[in-house]
Homo-oligomer: A and B are copies of this chain.
């Protein structure tokens, strides 16, 4: 790769920030300097990168000077507040929040799906919603082959989507159950252990959640299909960190299952796991800390014309967040 880059992470102590540090190291990203930034209450803590301790500083515009890339992963409000200053300071911002995703001036990118969108950025690049990025790793190869016409999704979303406290809340809930006590949820609106919560992100007046609307709007933007019909129901499930999505998709051209499988197998970042005879299909337990998203259960959809039904699984913290953000930076430094 190229010469070392000066990298900043806002939200370094969060679940996504920590995965990003791990991936920067594991994937040998050319880091000349790493600045870890967070809210005032994390100042004084230290985190280790490549064997060296780095003190966390408060995320303030002064800290952005000289940065090549700034990863923002501290929520939409902080992204809105900080991104312009970082761009002003000369950094390219890769933003993990929803703040800029639907901004016409901001590319929204899954590098395997629409890398061409990176050519025209103006300093800010948006990282998609986790469910959307993972869903599209299965949908995109089929869209390229058959032409996507309509998409219907039900998600099975891991607790890591709510950050580190989502993970501890599931652990605590299971512990409470084993001790015969009541769960005491604070991150999720209801107990998540041994339960399903059909509610991710805020409700809108339409009865949809923001998460469900993101799936529609972000899929349309990333696939350059601005009027694609998309329906989605998002559900939180008691799984730690890989999301799964049950997808029914209608295509322009006649579909063929063998061709669909070949298209998935050939797609960078997707992994075909589709051998029912040997009970092989992707599952969350196999997709924690994994780069590829798994695609399986591919079969002819019986209710849609030229339809395929399939199932996609991917690491919410990696392809759904930190990995995709880093892959954007990797594309830019190439």
Contacts and interface: CB of A to CB of B under 8 A. Distances in A.
Contact of A303 (B194, B230, B298, B313): B230
Given A156-B156, A203-B277, A285 B195 contact: yes
A244 interface: yes
Nearest to A288: B194
Contacts of A152: 152, 248, 303-304
A137 B299 CA distance: 27
Given A174-B178, A178-B178, A246-B198, A231 B302 contact: yes
Nearest to A274: B207
The A contact surface, by secondary structure, is mixed
Interface string A236-249: 01111000101010
Interface residues of A, number: 58
A42 B199 CA distance: 44
A122 interface: no
Report copies per complex.
2
Interface in A95-128: none
A297 B207 contact: yes
A309 B234 CA distance: 11
Contact of A233 (B195, B207, B311): B311
Interface of A: 150-152, 154, 156, 170, 174-175, 177-178, 189-191, 194-199, 203, 206-208, 216, 229-231, 233, 235, 237-240, 244, 246, 248, 257, 276-277, 279, 281-285, 296-304, 307, 309, 311, 313
25 contacts: A152-B248, A152-B303, A152-B304, A170-B194, A178-B178, A189-B279, A194-B239, A194-B285, A198-B244, A198-B246, A198-B281, A198-B297, A199-B276, A207-B257, A207-B276, A216-B302, A230-B303, A231-B248, A231-B303, A231-B309, A233-B248, A233-B309, A235-B311, A238-B238, A248-B248
